[in-house]
């Protein structure tokens, strides 16, 4: 089996760290041409040193003007687009619903949901020109289960699945595949912070939350950023040519979120 990704033109949003960086590197290892954006200029500067072959733009995906500039720069850097990885997403607040500010609610929706919409809008005309076009939208296990104390995040991640299913039907006629990824808890600093916030909100130790989370997975482990990256790369390859409209869990068989 050959992924055959030589020359595939890929844009990964929020590609300067975490799952986005793992995905950008996985594509680059397979010979794809990769452009990333991120809101964090310092992280982009460090990427320029560590991975000079990956081109970069500064962008806030929640801002329509910034996204328009990103796609102009992507066209200049890649000369077209075959795969969009809508990865940017923030954790949002961890709090009881009645304590969440409207500002926090709106920012979570703006980055996690509107950001994917804005990038898809700009990507579609470019993807229509491709013979192997795909979009991967990052949802979450929180897009499959209820997630107490994380209502803005869960609402956006369920929304991503609605966006994905609808776009898959709408774009199938153009040969564009659209899938969502539903990662479970990914080992790393972000999930450590999530466990710590949830523990603080519940008044228990962070290890208690971590153990509860592991107990809800059949494989009793966290997943890695590379696990998610490999699934995204497969879906963008010709091997995934007939897979569209799905929300794929990569989550060690998570049964519920705590
Ligand atoms: N880490 C997990 O456990 C986990 C689980 C399920 C789903 N996800 C989803 O996977 C995606 C990536 O998560 P991660 O854990 O790698 O995140 P991360 O926090 O490690 O990295 C996020 C990156 O996004 C960038 N970013 C933040 N706001 C942005 C914006 N408005 N515009 C552009 N870039 C922005 C940050 O600068 C950072 O580089 C997210 O959509 C997240 O919701 C993560």
| pLDDT at residue number 1 | 81
Q: Percent of the chain scored above 70 by pLDDT?
A: 100
Residues 6+ apart with CB under 8 A from 138: 19, 85, 86, 87, 88, 89, 160, 180, 181, 183, 228
Residue 7: is its pLDDT beyond 90?
yes
CATH of the domain at 72: 3.40.50.720
Ligand 1 pocket test target in 94, 142, 184, 186 with most atoms within 8 Å of CB: 186
User: Per residue in 194-233, pLDDT tens?
Assistant: 899 889 988 999 999 999 999 999 999 999 999 999 999 9
201 within domain boundaries: no
256 within domain boundaries: no
Confirm whether 153 is a catalytic residue: yes
| pLDDT at residue number 198 | 85
| Average pLDDT value for residue range 38-43 | 98
User: Per residue in 155-192, pLDDT tens?
Assistant: 999 999 999 999 999 999 999 999 999 999 999 888 89
Q: Ligand 1: which atom is nearest the Cα of residue 222?
A: 3
Residue 86, token pair as written in the block: 């809508």
Report if pTM > 0.85. Answer: yes
What residues make up the domain containing 129?
9-184+224-250
Q: Ligand 1: which atom is nearest the Cα of residue 185?
A: 3
51 within domain boundaries: yes
217 within domain boundaries: no
49 within domain boundaries: yes
User: Per residue in 47-60, pLDDT tens?
Assistant: 999 999 999 999 99
| pLDDT at residue number 65 | 98
Give Cα 143 to chain centroid, integer Å: 12
Options 153, 171, 195, 251, the catalytic residue: 153
Q: State the distance from the centre of ligand 1 to the C-alpha of 247, rounded, in angstroms.
A: 18
Residue 169, token pair as written in the block: 């039907």
Q: Ligand 1: which atom is nearest the Cα of residue 89?
A: 41
243 within domain boundaries: yes
d(CA 158, CA 164): 10
Residue 258: is its pLDDT beyond 90?
no
Total domains in the fold of the chain: 1
What are φ and ψ of residue 181, in 5° steps? -110, 135
212 within domain boundaries: no
Whole-Å CA distances, 18 to 21, 105, 121: 5, 23, 25
User: Please, is 64 exposed, middle or buried when counting C-beta atoms within 10 Å of its C-beta (0-12, 13-18, 19+)?
Assistant: middle
190 within domain boundaries: no
Average pLDDT for the chain: 97
């Amino acid at each position: 089996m050959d992924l055959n990704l030589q020359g595939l033109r890929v844009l990964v949003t929020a590609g300067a760290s975490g799952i986005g960086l793992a995905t950008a590197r996985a594509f680059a290892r397979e010979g794809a041409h990769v452009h990333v954006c991120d809101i964090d200029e310092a992280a982009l500067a460090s990427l320029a040193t560590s991975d000079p072959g990956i081109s970069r733009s500064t962008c806030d995906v929640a801002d329509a003007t910034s996204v328009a500039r990103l796609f102009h720069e992507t066209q200049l850097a890649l000369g077209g687009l075959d795969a969009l990885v809508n990865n940017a997403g923030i954790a949002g607040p961890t709090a009881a619903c009645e304590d969440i500010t409207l500002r926090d609610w709106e920012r979570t929706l703006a980055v996690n949901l509107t950001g994917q919409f804005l990038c898809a809008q700009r990507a579609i005309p470019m993807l229509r020109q491709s013979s192997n076009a795909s979009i991967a939208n990052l949802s979450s296990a929180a897009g499959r289960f209820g997630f107490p104390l994380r209502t803005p995040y869960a609402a956006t991640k369920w929304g991503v699945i609605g966006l994905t299913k609808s776009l898959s039907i709408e774009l199938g006629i153009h040969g564009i595949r659209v899938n969502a990824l539903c990662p479970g808890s990914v080992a790393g600093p972000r999930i450590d912070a999530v466990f710590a916030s949830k523990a603080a909100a519940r008044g228990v130790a962070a290890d208690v939350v971590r153990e509860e989370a592991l107990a809800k997975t059949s494989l009793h482990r966290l997943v890695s950023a590379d696990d998610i990256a490999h699934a995204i790369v497969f879906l963008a390859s010709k091997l995934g040519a007939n897979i569209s409209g799905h929300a794929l869990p990569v989550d060690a068989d998570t049964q519920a979120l705590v």
